[in-house]
Amino acid sequence: MEARGGSRRGGRVERCPSHSVRGGLLLTGFTSFGGEGFNPSGWAVRHVEEIPGVELIRAVLRTSYRDSERELRKLLRRHRPHAVVAFGLSARRTKISVEAVALNVDHAEERDNTRERRLCRKIDPRGPWIVESRLPVDRILRALRRERVPCSLSYQAGTYVCNHVHYVLLRSTRVPAGFIHLPRRRGRWVLHVVRTIVREVVESISS
């Protein structure tokens, strides 16, 4: 999500029981926001098909710096997932963006959904400026390209709530984790993309 917002609603968590990926796989997205009216990340996280042998923990975060961080930390403590894939919407992009890094800064003219604006503010005053994704990014890109899905590696997740969640995630856990931006698409295409990404993450940590 790049300098855009999410709904005040959120925080819903669903568990899909299964057994072989110890600790489960946490998937997060955001609710609909502002003039967009629809956020494919939250919708896809709720509706993507289960994967045999994998416990999917699904959560939709509020688009607020404070709320999203609090909800994410709570999810990590409660569920102790074996891996985390966070999704968000980038309405300006037409491809899937596999985010390579998170930046230690909140900076957006647009306010979040609690009306908070952050400018030139470090997320963690003592943290590194850049943290690298721990998802198998090359593997994910190869899989998406095999499926003829337009995609690219991104080094700029914005400096709004999506980047905030990505940075907090990577600093809060050492399991495979990272962030994927979805374009403004819906329906079976989005579900196929998310399932492909989840499958590659699961296979990478199971191999």
Work out the burial of residue 195: count CB atoms within 10 Å of its CB; fewer than 13 is exposed, 13-18 middle, 19 or more buried. middle
Task: Tell me if 129 sits within 8 A of 103, measured CB to CB.
Answer: yes
Work out the burial of residue 154: count CB atoms within 10 Å of its CB; fewer than 13 is exposed, 13-18 middle, 19 or more buried. buried
For this structure, is 162 an active site residue? Answer: yes
Work out the burial of residue 8: count CB atoms within 10 Å of its CB; fewer than 13 is exposed, 13-18 middle, 19 or more buried. middle
Question: What three-state secondary structure class fits 49?
Answer: coil
- DSSP structure class, residue 50: P
Task: Report which secondary-structure segment, H or E, holds 140.
Answer: helix 137-146
CA distance 170 to 69: 12
For this structure, is 164 an active site residue? Answer: no
* One-letter identity of residue 146: R
Active-site hit among 99, 151, 166, 200: 99
Active-site hit among 2, 82, 162, 164: 162
Active-site hit among 2, 55, 181, 200: 181
For this structure, is 19 an active site residue? Answer: no
- What residues are annotated to the active site? 99, 162, 181
